[in-house]
Structure 1
Amino acid sequence: MTEGRSLAQKLDHLLTVVHPADRGPYSYEEVAQAIKAKDGPTISAAYIWQLRKGLRDNPTKHHLEALADFFGVPVAYFFDDAQAKLIDDEIEILQAMRDAEVRDVALRTMKLSPEARRSVVNIISELGRYEDRSTGPRRRRRGSSAAAEADEA
């Protein structure tokens, strides 16, 4: 859900999800230093934190351009909810592709016929539904009182 998100929410999303596969999110200091290293505007780690927390909400155009450049998104990401939605969808796909097993399945699937690809999509959908059911709340089976007593024991 990206519609109507604030600048803080969009920046939080980028900080949370855009990072190398082999590590967690960038620190505020890493972002500030990377912007400085690219001859970007002066921006402090504290200021990035304030933007993320919504304590500051009116950054300069140069700060937004530098943040967008750091995260590899167009500056429109911060202004246009439709653009942000498209970019978030692309980021989600890229995150999935970072996983070697997912990438391998995707590459192998691309070699299949359109009918076979649809079958793979259906199988994955069914597996997702199965996992959703298996992780949901456990329901008690109706049956004999002996079965109910065994469940309670």
Structure 2
Amino acid sequence: MADEQVGATRSLASKIEWLIQNRWPAGSRPPRNNVDVAAAISEATGEELSSTTIWKLRTGRSDNPQLKTLKALSTFFGVPIGYFGDDEEGDETADQIAASSLVGKSGLNREALRALVEMSDGGRQLVADFIISAARLERGRSKPGG
């Protein structure tokens, strides 16, 4: 998640967008649009969601969905419903899910995580600083004119 949001609660829209981009079920065709997202969630959970609902949630035009909508999202993406909370606990849950999603992707595996745990506080801080710097650099490259 973006480091600009550290210390501030992440929006529901950013959490849902992160799930769509990073926790889409393996083996399922990636969604091309909100119609695809709504159809996949509805089919998998039995809870009828409209593409308009998905659009409103993804864009932040709606930040207070019905409980049944949150349950459907939670079930589909395999996250606890607390993930969607707008408090520190929700953000901690989101951080844990993001961390667990990295295991096995892009070379970050259990061995790398164990090595990180075994490092000194200074070593872990150095790694954290490097990750934040690399993320900023990548964000700058992905922006037009960056």
TM-score of the alignment, normalized to the shorter chain, above 0.5: yes
State the shift of 1:54 in Å. Answer: 2.0
Q: For residue 44 of structure 1, what is the aligned residue in structure 2? A: 50
Structure of greater Rg: 1
Q: For residue 53 of structure 1, what is the aligned residue in structure 2? A: 59
Tell me, yes or no, if the aligned pair for 2:38 and 2:51 is still in contact at 8 Å.
yes
Q: For residue 63 of structure 1, what is the aligned residue in structure 2? A: 69
**TM-score with structure 2 setting the length:** 0.61
State the shift of 1:66 in Å. Answer: 0.4
Q: For residue 84 of structure 2, what is the aligned residue in structure 1? A: 78
**TM-score with structure 1 setting the length:** 0.59
Structure 1 residue corresponding to 2:22, chosen from 17, 24, 43: 17
Total equivalences in the alignment: 129
Q: 1:63 to 1:98 in 2, by over 3 A?
A: same
Aligned partners of 1:21 and 1:124: how far apart in 2?
31
Q: Deviations over 1:97-146 (max 9, x none)?
A: 13252216337749xxx8xx226x7656546657859x98xxxxxxxxxx
Q: 1:32 to 1:99 in 2, by over 3 A?
A: same
Q: Which runs of 5+ in 1 are unaligned?
A: 137-153
Q: 1:29 to 1:108 in 2, by over 3 A?
A: same
- The alignment yields a C-alpha RMSD, in angstroms, of 3.9
State the shift of 1:88 in Å. Answer: 1.8
Describe how 1:2-151 pairs up with structure 2 within 5 A.
3-19=8-24, 26-27=31-32, 28-99=34-105, 101-103=107-109, 105-106=111-112, 109=115, 117-118=118-119, 126=126, 132=133
Tell me, yes or no, if the aligned pair for 2:79 and 2:97 is still in contact at 8 Å.
no
Q: For residue 148 of structure 1, what is the aligned residue in structure 2? A: none
State the shift of 1:4 in Å. Answer: 3.3
Aligned partners of 1:52 and 1:103: how far apart in 2?
30
Aligned residue identity for 1:8: A
Aligned residue identity for 2:92: L
